[in-house]
Structure 1
Amino acid sequence: MEFNADKTLLDLVTQFNETLYQLCFAAPPKTVSDGIWSNQKKGRTPMKSFFPVFELQVLVIFVITQICRTLIKPLRLPLFISQMMAGLILVGSFELAPLESYMTTLFPFGTHDIISTISSIGLVLFIFINGVQMDFNMIKRTGHKAWVISTIGLIAPLLLGLAPLAFFPGKLEKEHEMDIYVSLVSHSLTSFAVVASLLTELKIQNSELGRLALSSALVSDILSIIVAMIAVVVVKTPNGSVMARELFLSFSLVVLIPLIFRPVMFWIIKNTPEGRPVNEGYIYMIIAMVFVMGVFSVKINHEFISGAFILGLSVPEGPPLGSALVKKLKFFGNTFLLPIFVTTAMLRADLKMDYLSTTNLVIGLVVFVTHVVKIISCFIPALFCQMPVNDALTVALIMNTKGIVEVGLFFALHDNGLIGNKTYALMMISVMVIATIVQLSVKFLYDPSRKYAGYQKRNIISLKPNSELRILVTIHKPNHISTSINFLDVCHPTTEHPIIVDALHLIELVGRSLPIFTSHGLQRQSSSTGSHRSYSDNVILAFDIFQHDNPNATSVSTYTAISPPSLMYENVCTLALDKLASMILLPFHQRWSSDGKIESDDKNLRALNCKVLETAPCTVGILVCRASHLRKDSCTKLAMIYLGGTDDQEALCLAKRAIVNPNISMVVYHLVVKHHVAELEDLMVMEEDVLQEVKHAHNVVYKEVFVKDGSDTTSFLRDIVNEHEFFIVGRRHEINAPQTMGLTDWSEFSELGVIADVLSSSDFKSDASILVVQQQLSHKKSTKGLIF
């Protein structure tokens, strides 16, 4: 081994013999340089100073990581794989003769530990954030499925994983005993943070299977922490009395931190005014305590991250405190420092070895057998819990995934000398391989939308006469409450035509990992979601009043779902499926002020509406409300624009319920094309069905309007738009319908359909509300038109 001082950050390197060197460095060290063009007498050149070298290393790692991420994005591999690939590329660059000198200059001797230490803060913050996001109270609410799967999935591999060692000589076990045991134990454990990251990337954490996997991972993670702490104490302290003392200190770490700090966290929340952010001073004090608890963990012979994780568990998840901490730390920890840590951890891997050596084969066999046993031990209990085979296998694979937590674990074990260089390299490779296999397998096996397939005739037109109408109403913002109740009033619930309403309040998931779904009819005062009840109090009160105002005609149930915006459609569609809803009512994403200007434009809400239109198990209605309020006791002028097709027929059936109300007068405008044979035949068929019934109703005016093309339709709509307070229209019409010819090219919001898009246009300057109706889709069809 030979190296000179120019390839290090040291001032002098003197070799005494083949293995002994004298290293000299400046104290204090040269942190910043004097610049490229400044006087170099002090030796503070850019590549001889810590900070410039660190900045250059970060820049190179970031560029290579982004290139790798772009290349593997079409393969949909885990995000951290690109970070590990960047480490592999940098490791390989040291071996290439043309790049060796550049890499030695970029990563000189003495800088690996610096960048690793600094970036390790990212791992600490990542673990702390995941502790904050964990709903620890969910263990009390977790069903038997999660407990059985997680417990058997943890114990079985630990008991059976040592079986392969019986086939090898005892000498090998003694020489590499620690490496083998580390391989066995680490691959038997399941990390909640890794599972949550996987499900988030696959966007299935809000699905039924995702909830089960998160619950199982939560239980398994807590059990794994207990097993790991006991294992560390047993390995490091063979003396009985010392072991007892270390176990007591470990128990104190797990118990005393939540016992002391959790009441303090609740005091902070209590002293934070409602609707106001948490005081910045409290936030910085908690962040400081993360590192204090880490130092305390090290003092009692545990890893630095143990104290940070347990402190994170002590923080009440969700707003205001949990979400504030997550927002404050997520960019600096997860986005900036954590990728650097993963790459530098990979830089330590020594990939030059004999992969077919007996030791490597034994470790590889231990890892393989452990995962096979763990898959089987999770798969069989899932089957006994009456899960489908594909779902059971998916849960078993998810419980076997590996990720950043394991990278940090092997990094720490290698730092402490518990595993050698070869084992460390094998473990890092195993993390990459297992994570890739699991993610690709889960995507192949599990389709969260398939549960809606084959769910037929759940719409309004198929309801029997005088049957109850089941409507799922979704609420996002306070103004959606009044507009939804206005629509329900238009439907005019009576004892002969009752309406069953399921009101779902959707809240964005912030500061927690586990989605929450609460039925307020079953909610107890002691529920762990009690801190979120105030968000839904107005919804509950408003719909209770609506039910009270319509006795024996309505039945209302209220729910709250806290989930990521991209997965809220799962809550909507699943509840509609469970409650046998005939219609889902969605609010439009734009809101107008009294002077007609757009007051808010929620892109997440628009994405939700489009996704529900695509996957809903029943009819969907989007309510565009521009009027402030429709008075229940006054006459409402309702209009139905009919062109033909299944959606218009569905809208017409809904309008039939409205005309029962004596305070509603309705005009049905049937737009037809003169001398168009197909349209006339459609008219004859409809006259024998729903349209015929509506035409002869006492408070309905039926008008046939002849138009030539889309421009005629626009002119007609402009003439009548201010004559009515409420419009009901179908969303989809024939692609080549002459009535809408040319309008599709100018459509701004495809989810509204052509007619509603014209009516809601700002050019019309109308205060009328519009209900857009789409009959339940056959899932053999596609709604690829919902692109924006």
Structure 2
Amino acid sequence: MIGNIFLFIFATGALILLNKFLAAWLPKRNPKEKYLSKAETLVFIIFLLIIAVTIESYDVNSSVSVFTIGIMVPRQGKTHRTLIQRLSYPIHEFVLPVYFGYMGFRFSITALTKRYYIGLVIIVILALAGKLIGVICACMYLKIPKKYWLFLPTILSVKGHVGVLLLDANYSKKKWWTTTIHDMMLASLVVTTLVSGVLASFLLKAREKDFAPQKTCLESHDTHEELRVLSCVYGVRHARGTISLISALSGCHGASKPFAALLMHLVPLPKKRKSSELLYHELGDDVHGDDEFGTNDGLEINDSIDSFAKDSKLLIQQVKLVTKMLNMHVEICNATEDLRISIVFLPFHKHQRIDGKTTNDGEIFRQMNRNVLRHAPCSVGIFVDRNITGFQQPHGFDSVQHVAALFFGGPDDREALALCRWLANNTLIHLTIIHFVSEDSQTESPVRNTTTQDNNDVFIEVAGRDQTEHEADRSFLEEFHNRFVTTGQVGFMEKRVSDGPHTLTILREIGEMYSLFVVGKSRGDSPMTVRMKDWEECPELGTVGDFLASSLDVNASVLVVQRQRHSHDNFLDD
């Protein structure tokens, strides 16, 4: 048996390597197809079936080998999407219910006499205690907060698929493995699952506030904590710019900062669809299941993400949202709450053509952005992507991207500057903070620095705002300066301006110096932006963001950030 076991381990390892080769090679045969063909999918199933039947023929349980092979299949690319899409429904809707029913018919509760109840209770207690100790050790190693230590083992015990599979092992030749013991183990597994579900629900309701997202703005979010980004795109044109932004925020390749990127493919559902009075087989090519919506764009988006994941080793989770445009902002806001998103990025409703001019995609897309800005339970960024002349994905030190963060003051500008902390940790990004200050201000500068600046660069404070906001701006800017500027990671300059036209002049001067501008949305009644609203076309971008997005003198991409302003509870009440 020892020799056979080593042989099975070797065969399992060989099949894992073969699957990795096939997962990378098969998609290249038909690069224009979204999924693998049925024959290509069958190859994986046949190999898995062969090794499982072979192992079982030696009276050895094959569950462990098959499970190991499954978790080692690559988790990105066309092969992964094909297996998930074609196996999820039949397994969850047919195979597992039939298998659980088969296990249930074999179970006999009358075989468990009273003398086995004590053993059943002991097994349940040992199972819960073992899972509790194991998860707590993992939490201590991963430095997970203590408030999750009791909740995680209970919620992880709700599903018992692996336990049921192991109980169905071939123990018929073992003298100690009787039908009664099998029934007792199965009953303990069911009781453990039920108890875990009740405990998880109780803990969730008792400590609902502790499990709710505590930090709804990036200003209070440290770079050592996980940044969860949700990027919304309508097509591959938006996806490429969004992937470049994700690449910049995630840091250099191999960075250990916790970062989770999710991409949501938005597919607007037509208001009026074709008549569905025909029978299913008479619909012909009108029915494609999940592939009916966004097929061509979906294929190109998948290819872009696969290429990025291969180069950067960063996995971007994909979600497709198919709904009517009137309800799309509701689905996005619900997703940000469920996925615990830190910031959501939306595409601008205009895009740059090949000749450099901009084209309006439609007011309905603009209205969707406004609704998300109004109701989102987290920070929101609208990304104006100039894919030809603007921000590009940094690939190496020869293509370092120059990014400027414009700081006028206020909560939105602090949120934009807080987002730049993740950009500052990327060595392929050269970040510069440009602090605009009023010419009329005579108070002390918020940044204590003695370095020499240009004639136009002085140290002066923004005036004319509430004292509380003024102190918050000063404190945050000074902290950012001490952390990043003094260490040489980020450049810093201050510009003295007198009014709105003077601000526009400076923005035109620096319009070609950077590939990306990061700026907050709200300007308020600042004297530095007075009279700028006379040219405002898109109020959802703010005064400065609207100028940068619409000006012909600016070739850079623009990211306009708005701090969270609406709680999820109020959103539900609306």
Q: Does structure 2 retain, via aligned residues, the 8 Å contact 1:455–1:617?
A: no
**Mapped pair 1:728 → 2:523:** no
Match of 1:560 among 320, 323, 330: 320
**Mapped pair 1:498 → 2:258:** yes
Normalised by the length of structure 1, the TM-score is 0.38
Q: Does structure 1 retain, via aligned residues, the 8 Å contact 2:245–2:393?
A: no
**Mapped pair 1:774 → 2:540:** no
Matches within 5 A, 1:666-681: 666-676=431-441, 677=443, 679=462
**Mapped pair 1:578 → 2:338:** yes
Rounded to whole Å, the distance in 2 between the matches of 1:725 and 1:623 is 13
Secondary structure in 2 aligned to 1:639? Answer: strand
Rounded to whole Å, the distance in 1 between the matches of 2:510 and 2:367 is 31
Secondary structure in 1 aligned to 2:510? Answer: helix
Match of 1:463 among 210, 221, 227: 221
Secondary structure in 2 aligned to 1:706? Answer: strand
**Structure 1: 5+ residue runs without aligned partners?**
1-139, 144-453, 514-525, 784-788
**Mapped pair 1:695 → 2:478:** no
Query: CA-atom RMSD, angstroms?
Result: 3.2
Number of residues of Structure 1 aligned to a counterpart in Structure 2: 319
Q: Does structure 2 retain, via aligned residues, the 8 Å contact 1:507–1:561?
A: yes
Rounded to whole Å, the distance in 2 between the matches of 1:647 and 1:533 is 34
Q: Does structure 2 retain, via aligned residues, the 8 Å contact 1:626–1:767?
A: yes
Q: CA deviation at 1:558?
A: 0.9
Counterpart of 1:611 in structure 2 is 371
**Mapped pair 1:663 → 2:431:** no
Secondary structure in 2 aligned to 1:722? Answer: coil
Report the residue type matching 1:770 in the other structure.
V
Distance 1:529 1:618, change over 3 A: same
Q: Does structure 1 retain, via aligned residues, the 8 Å contact 2:374–2:566?
A: no
Match of 2:476 among 686, 691, 700: 686
Rounded to whole Å, the distance in 2 between the matches of 1:670 and 1:508 is 40
Distance 1:574 1:661, change over 3 A: same
Report the residue type matching 2:345 in the other structure.
L
Distance 1:606 1:509, change over 3 A: same
Counterpart of 1:624 in structure 2 is 384
Match of 2:504 among 714, 717, 721: 714
Q: Structure 1, residues 218-263: CA drift from partner, whole Å, max 9, x if none?
A: xxxxxxxxxxxxxxxxxxxxxxxxxxxxxxxxxxxxxxxxxxxxxx
Q: Does structure 1 retain, via aligned residues, the 8 Å contact 2:377–2:568?
A: no
Secondary structure in 2 aligned to 1:662? Answer: coil
Rounded to whole Å, the distance in 1 between the matches of 2:539 and 2:226 is 31
Q: Does structure 2 retain, via aligned residues, the 8 Å contact 1:456–1:778?
A: no
Counterpart of 1:34 in structure 2 is none
**Mapped pair 1:601 → 2:390:** no
Q: CA deviation at 1:660?
A: 1.6
Q: CA deviation at 1:476?
A: 0.5
Rounded to whole Å, the distance in 2 between the matches of 1:506 and 1:483 is 15
**Mapped pair 1:750 → 2:539:** yes
Distance 1:638 1:781, change over 3 A: farther
Matches within 5 A, 1:261-660: 457-493=215-251, 494-510=254-270, 528-532=289-293, 534-535=295-296, 536-551=298-313, 554-628=314-388, 630-632=392-394, 633=396, 634-660=399-425
Rounded to whole Å, the distance in 2 between the matches of 1:538 and 1:498 is 27
Q: Does structure 1 retain, via aligned residues, the 8 Å contact 2:346–2:382?
A: yes
Q: Does structure 2 retain, via aligned residues, the 8 Å contact 1:637–1:666?
A: yes
Secondary structure in 1 aligned to 2:215? Answer: coil
Matches within 5 A, 1:103-252: none
Report the residue type matching 2:305 in the other structure.
F
Q: CA deviation at 1:659?
A: 1.9
Rounded to whole Å, the distance in 1 between the matches of 2:224 and 2:532 is 38
Rounded to whole Å, the distance in 1 between the matches of 2:531 and 2:410 is 19
Secondary structure in 2 aligned to 1:471? Answer: strand
Rounded to whole Å, the distance in 2 between the matches of 1:462 and 1:727 is 22
Counterpart of 1:59 in structure 2 is none
Distance 1:528 1:570, change over 3 A: same
Q: Does structure 1 retain, via aligned residues, the 8 Å contact 2:235–2:301?
A: no
Rounded to whole Å, the distance in 2 between the matches of 1:692 and 1:775 is 23
Q: Does structure 2 retain, via aligned residues, the 8 Å contact 1:470–1:581?
A: yes
Rounded to whole Å, the distance in 1 between the matches of 2:428 and 2:563 is 27
Q: CA deviation at 1:624?
A: 0.5
Rounded to whole Å, the distance in 1 between the matches of 2:539 and 2:424 is 29
Counterpart of 1:438 in structure 2 is none
Bigger radius of gyration: 1
Q: Does structure 1 retain, via aligned residues, the 8 Å contact 2:405–2:420?
A: yes
**Structure 2: 5+ residue runs without aligned partners?**
1-89, 94-211, 275-286, 444-460, 464-469
Distance 1:722 1:612, change over 3 A: same
Distance 1:555 1:760, change over 3 A: same
Report the residue type matching 2:302 in the other structure.
I
Secondary structure in 2 aligned to 1:686? Answer: helix
Report the residue type matching 2:562 in the other structure.
Q
Q: CA deviation at 1:689?
A: 2.5
Counterpart of 2:279 in structure 1 is none
Q: CA deviation at 1:578?
A: 0.7
Distance 1:594 1:689, change over 3 A: same
Report the residue type matching 1:615 in the other structure.
H
Rounded to whole Å, the distance in 1 between the matches of 2:376 and 2:231 is 13
Report the residue type matching 1:666 in the other structure.
L
Q: CA deviation at 1:455?
A: 6.9
Rounded to whole Å, the distance in 2 between the matches of 1:738 and 1:495 is 42
Q: Structure 1, residues 358-412: CA drift from partner, whole Å, max 9, x if none?
A: xxxxxxxxxxxxxxxxxxxxxxxxxxxxxxxxxxxxxxxxxxxxxxxxxxxxxxx
Instruction: Provide the identity percentage.
Output: 27
Q: CA deviation at 1:691?
A: 4.0
Q: CA deviation at 1:649?
A: 1.0
Secondary structure in 2 aligned to 1:461? Answer: helix
